[in-house]
Amino acid sequence: MRNRLADDTVTDMERADFQEVLHRFERWRAIATMLGQKPYDEPDFDNGRLYFRSDYAEQVAKWPDAREKGDWGAYVIESTATGLFSVVRSLWHERAPERSEDLEVMFSRPDDAGKYVIAHVANSIRFGTGLKSRSISWRELGLDRSIVISPPTDEQFRLYFEAIPGADPVELRGYLNQYTVEGASQIYAVTSSENRPYMQVLARSFDQLDAELLKGLPIASAPAS
């Protein structure tokens, strides 16, 4: 099911917005390879969306129809009509009749959307080496003190609700929040309480996030950032 917030095209300016995200993601692909794990495919822009796919290229090489019918997974970043950046999780679950696409979070900045994807991918790499996910540590420690939690605005709620067909509006109101960096109202995200630990990315630079995610990994040195 295609999320209804996607644009039809990606401009050069939008590509430029994600240059640091793509650079950092490539670093984590190299780290996965160093650890003997299968890395995500190279990110690519497709029909106005930025895809971070796993098991996609290999499936398509063997079966071209896998583009639409394969059981690959992906994180997808797309822009909204109001200039936000949504992160969607795209999966084809076993025995499911079609692919599912679930909106996970809306960010005000493309870098934060990218950091969210990187954090999930890096935590998967950590799990593959037997290390604890940083999301568990973030949950235990609580959010950075600079992050303020508040209800979403009516417009944010409308956008989120329209992107989740069949959602119960009362239930959605109950677990949806806005996470804002104190003193920087332009830096925020809207998501469910389930994703609260990952809102740490709002208060982390790329270097700070990488340092946290790299801690304890069994590699002599990471590729240069």
Rounded to the nearest 10 degrees, the angle between the axes of helix 19-34 and helix 206-214 is 10
- The answer to whether the CB of 76 falls within 8 A of the CB of 51 is yes
Q: pLDDT tens track of the chain, all 225 residues? A: 333 334 444 555 478 889 999 999 999 999 999 999 999 999 999 888 999 999 888 888 888 988 888 888 899 999 988 889 999 999 876 666 777 889 999 999 999 999 999 999 999 999 999 999 999 999 999 999 999 999 999 999 998 988 887 889 999 889 899 999 999 999 999 999 999 999 999 999 999 999 999 999 998 777 776
For residues 97-133, b (16+ Cβ closer than 10 Å) or e, as one string? eebebebbbbbbbbbbbbbbbbbbbbbebbeeeeeeb
Q: Are 131 and 212 in contact (CB under 8 A)?
A: no
Looking up tokens 């917005």, which residue turns up? 17
Q: Return the pLDDT at 8.
A: 44
Listed by start position, the domains of the chain span 12-214
| Burial category of 52 from C-beta neighbours within 10 Å (exposed 0-12, middle 13-18, buried 19 and up) | buried
- Which pLDDT does position 96 carry in this prediction? 63
Within 8 A by CB and 6+ apart from 105, the residues are: 86, 87, 113, 116, 189, 190, 191, 195, 198
Q: Which pLDDT does position 94 carry in this prediction?
A: 66
